[in-house]
Homo-oligomer: A and B are copies of this chain.
Amino acid sequence: MSGGQGAQSFSDWAQAQRARVEKALDEVLPGAALLPGRLHEAMRYAALSGGKRMRPLLAFAAGELVAAPVDVVAYAAAAVELIHAYSLVHDDLPCMDDDVLRRGKPSCHVAFGEAIALLAGDALQSLAFDLLARTPARDPAAQVALLAYASGASGMAGGQAIDLATAGEAIALTELERMHALKTGALIRAAVRLGAGCGRPMSADENDALDRYASAIGLGFQIVDDVLDVEGTASSLGKTAGKDAIQRKTTYASLLGLSAARKRIEALRGDARAALAPFTTARRLLELGDWVMARTH
């Protein structure tokens, strides 16, 4: 992929990929000086206000397995991040989570008003598909179908609807897992598959192995999130902490207890590693797995 990768630390690699995806986002997001400026400004605010860029990192790391050109993966990664950004804008709206803080800054609707935030989320979603359809992967239409399925009623939006329907109810672990497999898992799995879709075709076995990895990462990410909501502070998280308990949400932390939740995270880290056994070039995916499971914000 790039010269001297062997010597590059994970943290340097991650920073380099973040810079790549942010360059791609900056390029494809409409300029705030163009009309309608307020809408464009809100879209840029939502998509360019930092964040861990976990989904783009997963796309880049998966791309490495299949010798995908990084410049192509950058656009696929940006498309996933646009979907993620739109979902945060809509999630924070008063009729949903009513959250005023995101990444340590006012939420989009606090900064721009509800109507513009709603439209900005809508337009970020459209832009994701516009971009992905024009990204020269092996099969751009298949990439679009994959991301659209992961975003919609069978994926992220469906998971959010289940979350709404069960809010304040005690739910069982299997139900919680199904909800998160859609709400956050679907987009994480899509990020991995989209990155892999930018390179050589994979065998069915390779596809399955990569999907097992992505599923473990997706679930582990969510359990870490639940644990951090208990342990973290607003300043460390960049968003309101302790919300789950206030909202009496069923979480992995509330169902399992913190200690068992942490053990589950370790088990999933092992699952992710094991899934990557067939690959010889999975270094960044391995490192990402460790990073996701050990993150503190």
Asked if A19 is an interface residue, CB under 8 A from chain B, the answer is no
Contact residues of A between 31 and 45, Cβ < 8 Å to B: 35-36, 38-40, 43
Contact residues of A between 17 and 57, Cβ < 8 Å to B: 30, 35-36, 38-40, 43
Asked if A161 is an interface residue, CB under 8 A from chain B, the answer is yes
- How many identical chains are in the complex? 2
Closest CB in chain B relative to A186 CB, distance in Å: 11
- A153, B30: Cβ atoms closer than 8 Å: yes
Residues of A contacting B: mostly = helix
Contact residues of A between 112 and 133, Cβ < 8 Å to B: 113-116, 118-119, 121-123, 125-127, 129-130, 132-133
Q: For A36, what are the chain B residues with a Cβ–Cβ distance below 8 Å?
A: 153, 158, 161-162, 165
- A148, B161: Cβ atoms closer than 8 Å: no
- B35, A119: Cβ atoms closer than 8 Å: no
Chain A residues with a Cβ closer than 8 Å to the other chain, count: 48
Asked if A170 is an interface residue, CB under 8 A from chain B, the answer is no
Closest CB in chain B relative to A137 CB, distance in Å: 9
Q: For A95, what are the chain B residues with a Cβ–Cβ distance below 8 Å?
A: 93, 113-115, 118
- B141, A118: Cβ atoms closer than 8 Å: no
What 3 A-B pairs have minimum CB-CB distances, sorted nearest first?
Answer: A126-B152, A130-B148, A95-B114
Q: What are 28 A-B residue pairs whose CB atoms fall within 8 Å in the complex?
A: A30-B153, A36-B158, A38-B161, A39-B153, A39-B161, A43-B153, A86-B122, A90-B118, A90-B122, A93-B95, A95-B118, A119-B164, A122-B157, A123-B153, A123-B158, A126-B153, A126-B155, A129-B145, A130-B144, A130-B148, A130-B152, A133-B133, A133-B141, A133-B144, A134-B145, A140-B141, A140-B144, A144-B144
